[in-house]
Amino acid sequence: TTLRVALMGLGSYAARVAEAMQSCKRAKVTGLISGTPSKLQEWGTKYGVPEKSRYNYDNFDRIKDDADIDAVYIITPNAQHRDQAIRVAKAGKHVICEKPMAVNAKEGQEMLDACAEAGVKLLVGYRLHFEPKTLEVIRMRNAGDFGNILFFQGLSGFRIGDPSQWRLDKALAGGGSLMDIGIYAINGARYMVGEDPVWVTAQQTKTDPVKFKEGVDETIQFQLGFPSGAVASCLSTYQMNHLDRFFMTGERGFAELRPATGYGPIQGRTHKGELTQPHAMHQTIQMDEMAGILLDGNTPVVPVDGEEGLKDLKIIDAIYAASETGGRRQLRLSK
Ligand code: NAD
């Protein structure tokens, strides 16, 4: 069977997902939700979505009665995710939500609760959790190839352009670089080390307070401490290019992914040599695997469920709080 997906928010990332889904074996675009009638028309024609499965933000609750939609993939500005996800859940459809799942842990928890109450599943678009070279590093770690993990470094950033975009508007983005790109280092630290952090420290730098307004972080350095004693040191920024690197070292070996999170081929090496797993479009693999999770109850090696999204939001909350005070924040992520 095929997972029938409605895309919500027809922007640049949704365009990438829609293209990649054309190569999916188990997932298909069968619905569209947009505030722009011309996009509904254009995308509808391009992807073969009939008019009856095209919705806008006022009427999409009607997907409840659309038998051709199993799940809605929310690809809108961050601050909209919570309300949209709750409406999708109430319509009885599974929710796939882009990262960051919400703009803070409180809103993330509300999404989990709404999905649980409605009896639908909540997944987060963590495409790298299905990426072959990433999974090989995780396999090697679990096999003990690196020995005890001691240190992780995550560098995630780019120089952001247009100052008027929603990513630089706190009301729509929920924050700045950390919400958008730093979350890759947070999430990566967790799947590379294979543990959840128990403390956080953070420092914030702002060189351009005109472009990066109150509540929109430009650059944050943060450190995470893990139960085993491993430590992560990460950089999140909207002010520097060429930052997409994960490095991890243990008692017996190392892994480096660079680029670690971009859309193109992930590249990397370990103390045993180059990683050679073939590249496939991340969003194609992701959506096929999500079909397996939602339709067959498959369990992925690295989780992509709402609990996973919520952990990252709790860490983001703690990083922002620590960066205000310069102090250390304790974390308790598992129940
Ligand atoms: P985008 O600006 O290209 O698209 C956003 C879409 O939302 C547009 O179609 C826009 O019309 C619509 N929208 C609805 N209400 C809006 C409003 N009030 N203001 C602005 N736009 C509004 O953004 P994007 O890059 O596609 O990002 C969308 C989401 O996808 C974000 O949550 C982002 O973090 C996530 N994303 C994830 C990845 C990934 O690799 N997983 C990559 C890019 C973006």
Give 104-146 pLDDT, tens digit per residue: 999 999 999 999 999 999 999 999 999 999 999 999 999 999 9
User: Atom 12 (ligand 1): residue with closest C-alpha?
Assistant: 9
Give 155-206 pLDDT, tens digit per residue: 999 999 999 999 999 999 999 999 999 999 999 999 999 999 999 999 999 9
Is 39 an active-site residue? no
Q: Give CA–CA dist 53/171, Å, rounded.
A: 30
Q: What does the DSSP 8-state code read for residue 119?
A: T
What is the domain partition of the chain in residue ranges? 3-124, 128-279+303-330
* Secondary structure of residue 106 in the 3-state scheme: helix
DSSP annotation string for 195-258: S--SEEEEEEE-S-TTTS-TT--SEEEEEEE-TTS-EEEEEEESS-SSEEEEEEEESS-EEEES
Q: Give CA–CA dist 127/302, Å, rounded.
A: 11
327: pLDDT strictly greater than 90: no
User: What's the 9 CA to ligand 1 centre distance in angstroms?
Assistant: 7
Edge-to-edge strands, sheet with 268-270: 273-274, 268-270, 254-257, 243-250, 149-157, 231-237, 219-225, 199-205, 329-330
- The pLDDT score that the predictor gives to residue 81 is 99
Q: Look up residue 88 and give its two tokens.
A: 């999708």
Of 21, 14, 29, nearest to 280 (Cα)? 21
- The pLDDT score that the predictor gives to residue 11 is 98
User: Atom 9 (ligand 1): residue with closest C-alpha?
Assistant: 11
Give 8-18 pLDDT, tens digit per residue: 999 999 999 99
User: Atom 6 (ligand 1): residue with closest C-alpha?
Assistant: 11
- The pLDDT score that the predictor gives to residue 117 is 98
Give 259-314 pLDDT, tens digit per residue: 999 999 999 999 999 999 999 999 999 999 999 999 999 999 999 999 999 999 99
ipTM tops 0.95: yes
Alpha helices (H) in the chain, listed in sequence order: 12-21, 37-47, 81-90, 105-118, 132-142, 170-173, 177, 183-193, 282-296, 306-325
Question: Which of the following CATH numbers is that of domain 128-279+303-330: 3.20.20.70, 3.40.30.10, 3.50.50.60, 3.30.360.10?
Answer: 3.30.360.10
- The pLDDT score that the predictor gives to residue 328 is 87
335: pLDDT strictly greater than 80: no
**Over residues 64-74, mean pLDDT:** 98
Distance of CA 149 to the CA centre of its chain: 24
Question: Which of the following CATH numbers is that of domain 3-124: 3.40.50.360, 3.40.50.720, 3.20.20.70, 2.30.110.10?
Answer: 3.40.50.720
Query: What is the average pLDDT value for the chain, to the nearest integer?
Result: 98
User: What's the 284 CA to ligand 1 centre distance in angstroms?
Assistant: 19
Residue 334's pLDDT band (cuts 50, 70, 90): confident
